[in-house]
Structure 1
Amino acid sequence: MAFTEAHENYIKEHLAVREGERARRLLEGHGYAEKWFLEAVWWPAFGHFQHLHPEYEVSDFKDGYRFLDFAYIRGPLKLAIEIDGYGPHWRNVSRIQFSDHCRRQNDLMIDGWKVLRFSFDDVKESPRYCQQKIHQLLGRWLGEENAAAEADWLEKEVIRLFLRSGGPLTPGEVRQRMGIGEKKTRAILYDLARKKWILPHSGNERIRSYRLSSAGRDLTL
């Protein structure tokens, strides 16, 4: 499925279960920067929008409500993702507004949220950097909380990476795009090859690249 169709379905699905201010906020708050983040960063990195909620409502320290650009909620993990544009909003922010912004982030941390903030410049100019930061956080959290889940999740993400690339990949390319270490990369590739989901593409004694097998291509991820 192409991004445009997937994005339209994604917004429709969330609108279908919202009403009032929550629906209005999604219609008005999910704008140019947020859609660009999904198209340039999230979709190439994951190929789906599972567990990702746009314009997600959270309570604040004033017993009111605020909205996160995106919330990734998976089991006990709560990740807030904010896209910040450098414009009049930031250049003209008052001291009171700046303090309020800091308090908002503190409240999120106290409530158990992990927070990633990306400038819109990085989303546009350095989407790979943004992808790596998200992969690193998710990989580290899964490693700390559940090593088995981490392996399962990373294996699926590597298979998706092969599907998106459409050709062979070297261990170095997998390591760079996933934002994980060399030892972990080789362990994942070894396990995927053992399961016959990927096959050696080049190299004899030392495999230099892998390609997706028919079994790996048929996986439902």
Structure 2
Amino acid sequence: MKENHSFEKAYAAFIQRHLERRSGERKGRLERGHGHAERLFAENIWWPLKGNFDDLHPEFEVFDFRGNSYFGDYGYLPGYLKFIWEVKGFGPHVRDMDRKSYSKELNRETFLQAMGFRVVSFAYDDVAPRPEVCISLLRMLLGRYQPAEAPVDRAVLAEKEVLRLAVQLVRPIRPIDVAAHFRLNHRTAVGMLQSLCAKGWLRPERKGKEVKVLAYELVRGAWEYMD
């Protein structure tokens, strides 16, 4: 209850602060367009992940590829990074959308990517009942761009990078892959893979009666270690 009260107070101050700084349509959009889904994202995902609303901008205005104003649910601008977070319901964004609107939305997102924004969309059906999925994925994404808030052991960072490499390869990862990626010798690469096996994130791939392990498979759920 105390944590919810902290969110309510911080969220109200966050919205009020932006209202006071805006005028015209930018203010009207925040008053009219910032609704249930956007608030739910703030409460279920952003607050548990960050515990503050620093660098977050509700109903963030940008221009689309036609030069028209477009309001993203949230802009997140920490330093030189530029993100747009969107919460999309199945109805308005899939079921009820015609082909022209669908093409326009995809073109807009591609244009924003070209302008330096990372546009990331979350399904309302995850934001509401399964926010932990969104939190894990968002933590993984931000971890690629922002330094950790606390010191992190370099060995842990290396292990996470090995797992990311395994995801990218879309096949069992081999010592030669790790050695080439990190520019390491074969023995060190094998040691890294065996360490991840011991922690349960990889498992040896065995074919037939072969005793020697030539490759390692990613264990389901290993992506949780990468956040």
TM-score by shorter chain over 0.5: yes
Tell me how far apart the structure 2 counterparts of residues 97 and 120 of structure 1 sit (CA, whole Å).
Answer: 19
SS state of the match for residue 56, structure 1?
strand
Q: Please name the residue that 1:133 is paired with.
A: 137
Tell me how far apart the structure 2 counterparts of residues 126 and 185 of structure 1 sit (CA, whole Å).
Answer: 29
Tell me how far apart the structure 2 counterparts of residues 32 and 3 of structure 1 sit (CA, whole Å).
Answer: 15
TM-score, normalised on structure 1?
A: 0.65
SS state of the match for residue 90, structure 2?
coil
Tell me how far apart the structure 1 counterparts of residues 29 and 158 of structure 2 sit (CA, whole Å).
Answer: 40
1:75 corresponds to 2:79: yes
Deviations 1:160-197, CA, capped at 9 Å, x for gaps: xxxxxxxxxxxxxxxxxxxxx982499xxxxxxxxxxx
Tell me how far apart the structure 1 counterparts of residues 101 and 69 of structure 2 sit (CA, whole Å).
Answer: 16
Deviations 1:42-66, CA, capped at 9 Å, x for gaps: 1011110001100000011111110
1:49 corresponds to 2:53: yes
Tell me how far apart the structure 1 counterparts of residues 64 and 123 of structure 2 sit (CA, whole Å).
Answer: 23
Return closer, same or farther for 1:56/1:88 CA change in 2, 3 Å cut-off: closer
Q: CA RMSD in A?
A: 2.2
Report the count of equivalent residues.
154
Return closer, same or farther for 1:124/1:57 CA change in 2, 3 Å cut-off: same
Shift of 1:85: 0.8
Return closer, same or farther for 1:185/1:51 CA change in 2, 3 Å cut-off: farther
Return closer, same or farther for 1:76/1:5 CA change in 2, 3 Å cut-off: same
Task: Find the structure with the greater CA-based Rg.
Answer: 2
Which amino acid in the other structure matches residue 150 of structure 2?
Answer: E
1:183 corresponds to 2:153: no
Return closer, same or farther for 1:182/1:126 CA change in 2, 3 Å cut-off: farther
Q: Please name the residue that 1:123 is paired with.
A: 127
Q: Please name the residue that 2:13 is paired with.
A: 9
Q: Which runs of 4+ in 1 moved over 3 A?
A: none
SS state of the match for residue 96, structure 1?
helix
Which amino acid in the other structure matches residue 54 of structure 2?
Answer: Q
1:105 corresponds to 2:100: no
Aligned-pair identity in percent equals 40
1:24 corresponds to 2:28: yes
Shift of 1:88: 4.5
Structure 2 stretches lacking a partner, 5+ long? 160-227
Shift of 1:90: 2.8
1:33 corresponds to 2:55: no
Q: Please name the residue that 1:85 is paired with.
A: 89
Q: Please name the residue that 2:187 is paired with.
A: none
SS state of the match for residue 50, structure 1?
coil
TM-score, normalised on structure 2?
A: 0.63
Tell me how far apart the structure 2 counterparts of residues 140 and 54 of structure 1 sit (CA, whole Å).
Answer: 23
SS state of the match for residue 93, structure 1?
coil
Tell me how far apart the structure 1 counterparts of residues 51 and 75 of structure 2 sit (CA, whole Å).
Answer: 17
Return closer, same or farther for 1:123/1:23 CA change in 2, 3 Å cut-off: same
